[in-house]
Structure 1
Amino acid sequence: MTITAPWAQAISTLIVGMSVAYIAWRQWQTAREKLALDLFDKRFAIYQTITQYYYPSQFVVDTRPDKEELLNAVRASTFLFDKRISQTLVDVYLNEEEATINNQLLNYAFTQMKNYMHFDKPLKRKAFKEEKPTLER
């Protein structure tokens, strides 16, 4: 039977504790990256649906979503984007026939949506630099 020195036990305990802390930190990083990827996929699906609906000529295949798919994308934007973006998309959806207003609103919404879709920095969003166009009738 060997008797180890107290300092050897302390060092081994410290090494095991540091290893456990590193593994926990890496798991946290992995979970954060997975969240970023999941959010990116969902946000990009909304962005793509809205883009295909309002600008179908930009796509090779005519796969314009129907009105119900667009409404589902606008509703989902409430949970995945900032309040200003989702409200802008609702405004565009409700005032679909007014093309000039919608172009301004869509450009604003697309710019802000792109700010949200940075995969490398999921929880740090760029500040809103652009003012939202107003609905003038």
Structure 2
Amino acid sequence: MTKRDGKAEQAREEIEADLKDDPEVTWLARDIIAVVKKHRAAERKHATEVAARLEGARQVAGAEAADAEAAEHLTLAEAGRIRRAYKVAQTATPRLILDANSNGLNATEIARELDVSGSYVARFLRENGRQENPEGSQG
């Protein structure tokens, strides 16, 4: 709400006088007020959604900064262990995709867990004679 000044008070008094003189104006005034309230509610909802998206972006940026910080302090031995673990995970990925699909996960769900694209998983499933499970896991 804005602070009322003399002009706003005068306008309010004029509107009240018009409402008393012409009942049809009352319906119009109510409609205008309803539209303004609806618009304000939509603006608040939009602002909340934008704030949530911004917070999500900040979290991603923070995670990326943490990854960059960790990378700066990584030792040769740690990098070697991570690379060997990556190769093991890479070798296991086809089996993991097939197992997850057999357990009811769809390509999107599998891709999210493995941090790969959904199209990669869907193509892999097709090439290996599996049907995409559009429903995904139940729960």
The TM tier, using the shorter chain, reads 0.3 to 0.5
| TM-score, normalising length: structure 1 | 0.38
Largest Rg, 1 or 2: 2
Larger % of helix: which?
Answer: 2
